[in-house]
Structure 1
Amino acid sequence: MNFIDLRVAKPLLNALEDLEYVYPTPIQQKCFRRITSGVDVVGIAKTGTGKTLAYLLPILSQLEYSNQKNPRVIILVPTRELVVQVCEEAEKISKYKSVRIKGVFGGVNINTQKDYVFDDGADILVGTPGRLYDIAVTGVIRFSNVKKIVIDEVDEMLSLGFRPQIEQIFEMLPNKRQHLMFSSSLSENVEEFIKSYFNSPEKIEVDVESTPVEKIKQTFFPVQNFNTKVEFLKVLLSQKDEFIKNLIFVADKRQADLVFDKLSSEFEDLGIIHSNKSQNYRFNTIKNFEKRKIRSLIATDVVARGLDFSDISHVINFSVPENASDYIHRIGRTARAGKTGISILMYAPYEEKYFEEIKKIAGENTKEESFPQGIPKIDCLLEFEKPAFTHKQITKAPDISKGGGAFHEKRNINTKQKRKKRK
């Protein structure tokens, strides 16, 4: 089946042809007619399966020209990077169609974004939940004309605590609306959220549990601590002919900065993104990574979630994720479009319990290696690596019956003894 068979609108077909998109992915194929029929849809698919187009194509196919300023479609995503990515994707495929697409997110002046949205209006408004709600309550835009609302990466949004803002936005929408939700997984929180707001949704699942891990060569290395991991990473990144485009995952922002500070002087083609970096810095870093000006990118799970990077040669798990499913999500950034990929995981002693869970779901294309010889081993531990000091807990109350009495009793005895001596 191709896009013509799906009955995609002619202007969109022309744009797809320009982009050399001929065949829809499974999630796009399964979602198109269900979404255009008007039913609530829950799409479960991993990043890289084409789920952004899975909802954009049917929405744009049905969206007719209008000069009203208020949006008719709202798309909620968890991060500012995803706002930009969804807007760019929508603009590409609506190239031959008159559609106003606007994106809003935190980290910039809200008055500037209010003017931007109000200026000539928006047909499709993409945003992070907090900023979208903050703009809406000012009255600059109204949601009375919204026909469809998309919640993308809903599992991530719920884990980040965005549910209150999403619910506040729902309260501002007309009762009659279509809900479209896309997620990488179907957790209990997501299931409960669906039951609360969706009207008998149709679930469309595409290879949720069959991420092509067998196409990914996975190698596990025991590494004694953080600083030794840095030395190991130096050796890997020095092999430029092999490590062509690398995505390096770390546990948090602090560790990301530490790794970058230790390696950036030696590797000028190293980049970093996390939530403390300014929006312009993050946007430029991502663009330079895609243009191969940056060869290796250090990222946290939260910021990288949902971003679609092309042609990743290696995924390096510098830190072991606490959730085994996050590991599958990480390594799925390589081996795209039928290609093979390589994943390397370094685990320290304090990460072994998480590593054991990963081994259970990693598939058969795995290999455990010894720590390579010739790489310096650094004994210095960082604070978070040191064993936690615990106070001795008293589980049984002391027997005071055998003691020498209370303090005031002892004091009285001592006083009597002193008086006898004086006599």
Structure 2
Amino acid sequence: MAISSASKTTIPFYRDTRILAIIAQVVFALVMMTLFWFLYTQMMRGLDRAGLLPSFNFITQPAGFPISEAAIPFDPSRTYGYAFLVGITNTLRVAFFGIILATLLGVFLGIARLSENWLLRNLATAYVEIVRNVPLLLQLFFWLTMSQSFPRVQDAVDVGGWFYLHNRGITMAWPEATASFTAWLMIWVVLGLLLGVAFYIQRQMEFKRRDRPGVALPWALLIAFGVALLGFFVQGILSQSFPLVLNVPELQRFGFTGGLTMTTNFAALLFGLVIYTAVFIGEIVRSGIQAINKGQREAARALGLTPGQTLRLVIFPQALRIMIPPLTSQYLNLTKNSSLAVAIGFPDLFAVAGTTLNQTGQAVPVIMMVMAAYLSISLLTSLFMNWYNKRIQLVER
């Protein structure tokens, strides 16, 4: 009787919501695949009629065009693939320095907006409201115009003998490797890193054994830096030349020799991205600090901590757990916004790809390469930030 009763109450498959959900998903996937295949075949037929079938053979052909600014050596006889690599390195250079500078400026802005100093708080607020309401592209044009309005090289503005502002860009003193640099790097820097890693592992094992939290990374970095700094002076005394020396630029008849020159295009792009992105990072920092319960501040005050110590030791470490996810989005936005460099003449990835597309006519392969490059950079950035976010999360016992 139990078996017959169970068989009578069985739901038919065409009325089972679980089975219907699976069938609906399969049908949707088949429709999307069919639509994609239809669009793909239509695109390939159109390209075939125009004689523009996608091909990556152009990558090994000579580029034939110059790149005004390159982080690695380049000349027109190099291949399109090498030119594409130059564009990637230029984009990475802007993104790397932009993220660091925007983070520093953003943290300052976020703290300044919460300052008890009336002037500092309102200046920070005015800066935020003005910059975030002006389009980024317009700001890039503004900084390019400002950088090109500096005097000519012969009349460059001297800032302490280490920085020179002129209409070709910014020339600054820069470290230069000497003959003893390799020995210092291979011996002392490597030794410092090994000692730092050994100290970090030993301290982490000790914390785990005692079942107590602790901080080991700052001390490990300090040990690595101390050993490298000691080796810097020891290597300098032994070889009678320090591994790194400051190459100070000197003004000659037709320009500067020595140092490092940042072109007006690169400077405008970097300044624009940093100043614009720092506004949003500052708002993230401000909201993260305000999200911490005021009881934490009262407890720190009861322990006798100063406002600076409270912010550095109590509030900011807790707020960091809130700030990391939105900070990741801003880092990705900065990297992708660097593609606006094409508007001010800086040869980033997008600009180099555009020239390649115009010369080869291979629109689909070039666009796919650009998309893959930006996607790879974004995924690596997200991977690192997600790892760090997981690293600093609170672990409930």
Q: Same fold (TM over 0.5)?
A: no
TM-score, length-scaled by structure 1: 0.21
Structure with the bigger percentage of strand = 1
- Considering Cα pairs closer than 8 Å and 6+ residues apart, tell me whether 1 or 2 has the greater RCO: 2
Q: Which has the higher helix share?
A: 2
- TM-score by length of structure 2 reads 0.22
